[in-house]
Structure 1
Amino acid sequence: MDTIYRFSAVTLSGAPLVLDTFRGQVLLIVNTASRCGFTPQYQGLQALYREYRDRGFAVLGFPCNQFGAQEPGDSQAIGEFCAMNYQIDFPIFEKIEVNGDGAHPLYAFLKASAPGVLGSEAIKWNFTKFLIGRDGCVKQRYAPLTAPETLHGDIEALLAETV
């Protein structure tokens, strides 16, 4: 079975992080942007993280500048924005691409595992969300319009499962 655990990404501090670090946790992986109409979702994402982290849940943020150039900053600017405006303390990674030939391998896997509307794999906009079970497999894909606050039931169900 193929899982997210075979991938790694670089944190905002420049350190590589193998996603196997999160083995056994429920994860919400989100492509983010600082200058998007959906940017206030950071508040809901942080609230989910705060509520469930002690039960084995994490949010992983992947900044992306592919949609309207809404994430123009470097890693330092992204980190400062997230900390100052939303008090984010869940893991945020270096800016990546989610579509096209330069798409991060993690996102190629996520998109293939959970295609969107009409079977399209492409990420349509910032704040597309992927819910990952404790087994490292994609369980659900959510559109950018889906507010983090609406995900409690799905997160609770996965937290209740054992691997």
Structure 2
Amino acid sequence: LMGLLVALSGFYLLLFYGKSSLFFTHRYIILPAVFALASAAVLVVVGCLGSLLSFRDSIFLQGLFVFLLVLVFTLESTASALAFFHSKKLDSELASLSGMFQQYTGSSQSHISWAVDGAQEELQCCGVQDYKDWMGTPWFNRTGGLSVPCSCCNSTFLSCNGTLDQP
């Protein structure tokens, strides 16, 4: 059961990376998800082996069981350490987002605009820090300095058009 839970978290991280891969310059950010998926696979094997051990008394299977438990511990420790270490690097990765805001066109044909809109909708945010990140961008200047992308809009506010006087 725990193996399935760890696998789901690994798949979620990979899915999130797939949606926001344009924001990150290095692929190392997916390493915790890969280690989580590997440990999930080993956990499922350990669970099956543990069930088998309850019916058979084999020294070899007991040794294999302990080895796989140590392997799971190592994989999960590595995933945790990588997640912690890379969370520090995430700040520097996100600092490069200002360049993406400068290239935002609002067109659904632009990969950058699609990624920015998708991230803002998924994370329910506007900009990296707040909506002020849009000020001074070509998009903001084209709208006369009164608008942010509609992806900044609160999803519960049905008639939002991106003007700054709306939530």
Q: TM over 0.5, yes or no?
A: no
TM-score range, shorter chain: under 0.3
Where relative contact order (Cα < 8 A, 6+ residues apart) is larger, the structure is 1
| TM-score for both structures, normalised by structure 2 | 0.25
Q: Which has the higher helix share?
A: 2
Q: Which has the higher strand share?
A: 1
Q: Which structure is larger by alpha-carbon Rg, 1 or 2?
A: 2
